[in-house]
Amino acid sequence: MLDILKMIIYKLPIINGYRKNMNDLVTDVKSLELETLKNLKSSKSANTLRAYKADFRDFALFCQQNGLISIPSEPKIITLYITHLSKTSKFSTLKRRLASISVIHKLNGHYLDTKHPIITENLLGIKRVKGTYQRAKKPILINDLKLIINAINQDKNSKSKSENKALLLVGFAGGFRRSELVSIEYEDLEFVSEGVKIFVRRSKTDQSGEGMTKAIPYFGNSEYCPVVSIQKWLEESKVKSGKIFEMSDKNVALIIKKYTALAGLDHKKYSGHSLRSGFATSTAEFGAEERSIMAMTGHKTTQMVRRYIKEANLFNNNALNKIKI
């Protein structure tokens, strides 16, 4: 061992006439470890990190209640937690919790083998017993959106009609995620003769912050036009800088719940994601191509978009349409 250490020291670089010593090397490694962990945290959005931490808290509570160590953990403990969770949760939740536990371990400098056979085979067994099907929340389609906007117009108790209309119409027309929608700033808007360009600074699939621009044209009916609605809201609010919607992404979901109920829809079947899925499904229903939908939503893979297209074409490409009775 001593010979190996001598070889390492001998090979250390000479800086300003002095060979770096082992203490310097240890210090460098520690600082690199800290910087690496910082980079790992920076690779995730604030919302994503919050979701990971929330998932991990549930796992930590399970470990505490059963006298187990939550971090660093081991495959046997993870698979016990998964089995426990499978009794009340969907399969997709199990996969998400597993991913969250793995990420939290990485962020704390620990390695967790989530591909260990005891975990993967347990998941496979649960999958075969429970299945993976889950009923997604409904998309807000064109006719739904009109009903919702009409409900906002008729809401005598609301002091935020213009803001709510702009929020929902822009959210739908841009295929925005909730976090993107509430992050729009006045400086991100550029009104042109065709409509409005909205610069999205950062999104779930753009953690490097390259940004993207979404273009929303004027609609024929000004009552349901997102461009007109956002212009009216800016005029009323007198916002000239910073965020144009002063609310959290959770508020978006609450507003959707409120006005789907007032519109006579089953609010339990809708969520904050319903605007985004509604855009994708509606545009697919009207014949928009896959790549043009992805260009607006920012999806990096076709899997989710094709799911929306499949939903939209359930009746359009239905074999029963060929039957005349």
State the DSSP string of 121-148.
HHHHHHHHHH-S---PPPP--HHHHHHH
Of 256, 235, 255, 253, give the one whose Cα is nearest residue 244.
235
Options 20, 204, 257, 258, the catalytic residue: 204
Query: Is-catalytic flag, 204?
Result: yes
Burial of residue 94 (CB within 10 Å: 0-12, 13-18, 19+) is buried
The answer to whether residue 218 is catalytic is: no
Tell me, yes or no, if 276 is annotated catalytic: yes
By the 10 Å C-beta count (0-12 exposed, 13-18 middle, 19+ buried), 237 is classed as middle
Backbone angles phi, psi at 21, to 5 degrees: -90, 175
Beta strands in 245-315 (DSSP E): none
In the DSSP assignment, the letter for residue 206 is B
* Backbone torsions φ then ψ of 318, nearest 5 degrees: -75, 130
Catalytic residue among 197, 269, 299, 300: 299
Q: Quick check: is 105 catalytic?
A: no
**DSSP run (H or E) holding 18:** strand 18-19
Catalytic residue among 105, 165, 177, 178: 177
Question: Which of the residues 81, 259, 270, 308 is marked catalytic?
Answer: 308
**Within 13 Å of residue 300, how many CA atoms lie on the same side as its CB?**
5
Q: How far, in Å, CA of 161 to CA of 167, rounded?
A: 10
CA-CA distance, 208 to 113, in Å (whole number)?
27
Which residues are tagged catalytic? 177, 204, 273, 276, 299, 308
